[in-house]
Structure 1
Amino acid sequence: MSAPCFDTLAFAKRLKAAGVEQAHAEAEAEALGEVVDHHFEALATKDDLRHLATKDDLRNFVTKDDLRNFATKDDLRNFATKDDLRNFATKDDLRNFVTKDEFHAEIGKLDRRLDALDNRFGKFEGDLAALKALMSTSQTQLEQRLLIKFGAMLSAAIVLLAALVKLGV
């Protein structure tokens, strides 16, 4: 598209009619014509505008606000690298270990076994206390019997000794 033509002659005539000298009016008209031509060359044509992106075209592009949400290299320096992760266990490595549920099930079994041992120990303590009481009673009875027998033997010895003394032996 050609630029609209700036009529320098008509402009110079207007200036002359307004009282500007003819040489001065022609110089101003020519200078203004160059400026107008230069600026018209820089203007975009409809064809130029057809090749530019529209708002719809730009909707798929990333904005500065979108980019602010992404991590920078500095942000990523604190994260683990592939080399760092090589020292960690893999899923295959972890299959050899028990899960939390399996661990808790085993702990439950151990708790039940400990409870059974506590019950046995409680019964054992009860039996031991009963045995101690029985032994104490038996010991007291034994001491009483020994005392009675010793007293009877002592009495018999005194009677025998008294009989021997009376007999003069």
Structure 2
Amino acid sequence: MTDDVTGEGSKKKGLSFLMLLPPILFGGLALLFLLGMNRENPDELPSALVGRPAPAIEVSQFSDMQEVTDEDLRGGGLKLVNFWASWCGPCRVEHPNLMAMKAEGVEIIGINYKDQPANAVRFLSELGDPYAKGGADTTGRMALNWGVYGVPETYLIDRDGNVILRIAGPVTQRQIDERLGPAMEKLR
């Protein structure tokens, strides 16, 4: 019977484990990257709201725009809820696409996010108003409840008031062709 009084056996076990640690870490990272690359759209930020009822509408009156309510999201046809601001450069980029969608009969609800009212009114006067209804989220509370990372951000809402799709960033023609248009067609 031999006793390991010097602790040599435990030192060897510790060194063996340390030698295995880098390949284990590398394998774990490789698995995470592989899973991330296999997502449908790796650029899209995930949303916990997709497939769930849209959160409550919490807005104040914006200019002379008809104020949106919770009931407006439930019932009727498909709707887009668009968070925007006059100080937002990408909001200017998406604006012609929103105007074109309005001309095609898409109901768009505009939520003006943390903006100066006079600047927001000037923005819509200059570029056109694509919104059927809307309101102002002056505190950012509604945006927080909806999981908005930044403006612009747009949500497709179905007839029952459920969130079907989220577009973080501007609604570009590519987003319309590849994601929004097909999702809307499928729901019609």
- The two structures have a TM-score, normalised by structure 2, of 0.21
- Name the structure, 1 or 2, with higher relative contact order (CA <8 Å, separation 6+): 2
More helix as a share of residues:
1
Which of the two has greater strand per residue? 2
- TM-score of the pair, normalised by structure 1: 0.23
